[in-house]
Amino acid sequence: APRTHWIFGDQLGPHFLEPRHGGPDAHAPVLMIEARSVLRRRRFHRAKAHLVLSAMRHRAAELGDRVRYVQARTYTEGLAEAGFDGGGGRLTVCHPTSRAALDFVTGRDGIDVLPARGFLLAREEFGAWAEEHGSDRLRMEGFYRWMRREHELLMDGDAPAGGTWNLDHDNREPPPRDAKALDVPAPYRPHEDEIDDEVRRDLDRWERDGEVTFVGRDGPRRFPVTRREALAALRRFVAHRLGDFGRYEDAMLAADPVMSHSLLSVPLNLGLLDPAECVERAEQAWRAGEAPLNSVEGFVRQIAGWREYVWQLYWHFGEEYRTRNALRHRAPLPGWFLDLDADAVTANCLSAVLAQVRDTGWTHHIPRLMVLGSRALQDGWDPAAVTDWFHRCFVDGYDWVMLPNVVGMSQYADGGRMTTKPYTSGGAYINKMSDLCKPCAYRPTDRTGEHACPYTAGYWAFLHRHRTALSGNHRMARAVKGLDRLKDLDALLEETSERGDRAP
């Protein structure tokens, strides 16, 4: 008889049940465990809790008689209830996505762990590449070019399609002047069904009973939770929105938070889409003359480059990466930030982005990095607490993707293993790349005084605080030298420290 196959809540696509290439047994019965302790332990965004439960329950409904769906307090109790507490039959499971879950399944008798699915590259293959490239000085660009070659993505023979590997310089345009929104068709949005109604009733009840507490607002579900919805979202993106993806990738518009981004991180991270089909369809669109190379290359770079790189680094860096704190930042997250209290914030960019998180649990990359993450970095918040906040508040947040992105990329807490310099800027960058500064009470050019922009002042205060460490970094040395030209540095430092953790 086939062994029962356990699927986690982020392993919901058909490829997790595909027997070929080391998958589960053919026609394996399926086990799913909805463990409520996960929600009890931490204060998640309500939209995230909704998405994960809705996705799991939709999958169970599709699998029908093939699945045993257990609602339990913990995985251990769920396994016992389903009769797999050691003595029972054997289980298979695809390599889970977090270290805690991997330890859980490898530490138990009767569970066979199968290779990971949902990524382009096997862990062992990355190990060999990292070894060859000096494990401690890895860079995404080298990894990405290697992936392009190995997986024959956007290649013409041995050469990159179009003759260059990297079209990033075409992908940094500010938003079109005076536009409130990009002129592109709207992204795919799903319709809720009775499973969503049931999830909403459960969440309401658990919240009322004081069993769980959430942050963020409830609202109509915005992301795919089934394979069908996920494919519709991918199709719509490639057919109607991919063309503009590149140009405005880094731009922000107050009234158009999504712009031309794909919104595919949720279905990808739930395991509903396979990254291979995403990059293949994008490449086909370019080959068919339906999307320009800079957009297609940019999209392939995000998925076959960044996403894969982050997944591999999560395992490569090891568990101690979680607590890295190279800049010794210890400040707790302020209450207004923890509570997503956008209305308490005066700075227009931060208020707008925090409101997006509060209302949807999602913002695109640049607001995460250059508005939210940068605020945390400039104000010296504890990077582990920042990571926890992102994990809880973002609909696409999982342990594997948060650790390298927040500890490394956004908080520079790894001292430069992930990026070559800290990502932070003054208000001038935000002003150039968005329409957020125009209506703001602060002025991006002002460092001190009543209209001092908290990003501009915060940027210099950050450089000053880490002057010694950063002057040794060749990409930061010039910026650090700029401190010497500031006649108002003392006043600036006094004003920023006076603000303390009040909302800027």
- Give the binding site for ligand FAD (CB under 6 A): 261-265, 268-269, 302-303, 306-307, 310, 364-365, 368-369, 373, 390, 394, 396-397, 401-402, 405-406, 409-410
Select 353 or 452, whichever has its Cβ closest to ligand FAD. Answer: 353
Decide: helix, strand or coil at residue 322: helix
Least CB distance from residue 96 to ligand FAD, whole Å?
Answer: 16
Distance CA 238, CA 281 (A): 7
DSSP string, 474-487: TTTHHHHHGGGG-T
Select 161 or 251, whichever has its Cβ closest to ligand FAD. Answer: 251
Select 23 or 373, whichever has its Cβ closest to ligand FAD. Answer: 373
Least CB distance from residue 248 to ligand FAD, whole Å?
Answer: 11
Select 302 or 434, whichever has its Cβ closest to ligand FAD. Answer: 302
Least CB distance from residue 375 to ligand FAD, whole Å?
Answer: 11
Q: What is the 3-state secondary structure (H, E, C) of 265-286?
A: HHHHHCCCCCHHHHHHHHHHHH
At 458, the amino acid letter reads: G
Least CB distance from residue 226 to ligand FAD, whole Å?
Answer: 17
Least CB distance from residue 261 to ligand FAD, whole Å?
Answer: 3
Q: At what angle do helices 489-499 and 454-465 cross, to 10 degrees?
A: 110
Least CB distance from residue 374 to ligand FAD, whole Å?
Answer: 10
Decide: helix, strand or coil at residue 337: helix
Select 92 or 378, whichever has its Cβ closest to ligand FAD. Answer: 378
Least CB distance from residue 423 to ligand FAD, whole Å?
Answer: 8
Cβ 131 vs Cβ 255: under 8 Å: no
Least CB distance from residue 398 to ligand FAD, whole Å?
Answer: 6
Select 110 or 174, whichever has its Cβ closest to ligand FAD. Answer: 174
Select 262 or 425, whichever has its Cβ closest to ligand FAD. Answer: 262
Select 58 or 261, whichever has its Cβ closest to ligand FAD. Answer: 261
Distance CA 315, CA 123 (A): 8
Q: What is the 3-state secondary structure (H, E, C) of 79-111?
A: HHHCCCCCCCCCEEEECCCCHHHHHHHHCCCCE
Select 123 or 464, whichever has its Cβ closest to ligand FAD. Answer: 123
Listed residue (121, 99, 104) closest to 6, CA to CA: 104
Least CB distance from residue 448 to ligand FAD, whole Å?
Answer: 29
Cβ 166 vs Cβ 297: under 8 Å: yes
Select 46 or 364, whichever has its Cβ closest to ligand FAD. Answer: 364
b/e 402-428 (16+ beta carbons within 10 angstroms → b): bbbbbbbbbbbbbeebbbeebebbbbe
Distance CA 253, CA 404 (A): 27
Q: Which two tokens stand for residue 281?
A: 């369809």
Least CB distance from residue 373 to ligand FAD, whole Å?
Answer: 4
Phi and psi torsions of 80, nearest 5°? -65, -45
Select 202 or 249, whichever has its Cβ closest to ligand FAD. Answer: 249
Select 52 or 310, whichever has its Cβ closest to ligand FAD. Answer: 310
Listed residue (374, 353, 376) closest to 363, CA to CA: 353
Least CB distance from residue 454 to ligand FAD, whole Å?
Answer: 18
Cβ 73 vs Cβ 35: under 8 Å: yes
Phi and psi torsions of 91, nearest 5°? -115, 150
Report, in this order, helix, strand and coil percent for the chain, each rounded to 5: 50, 5, 45
Cβ 362 vs Cβ 350: under 8 Å: no
Distance CA 259, CA 246 (A): 11
Least CB distance from residue 370 to ligand FAD, whole Å?
Answer: 8
Cβ 327 vs Cβ 202: under 8 Å: no
Least CB distance from residue 410 to ligand FAD, whole Å?
Answer: 4
Select 68 or 95, whichever has its Cβ closest to ligand FAD. Answer: 95
274 CB-near residues (< 8 Å, 6+ apart): 13, 15, 117, 118
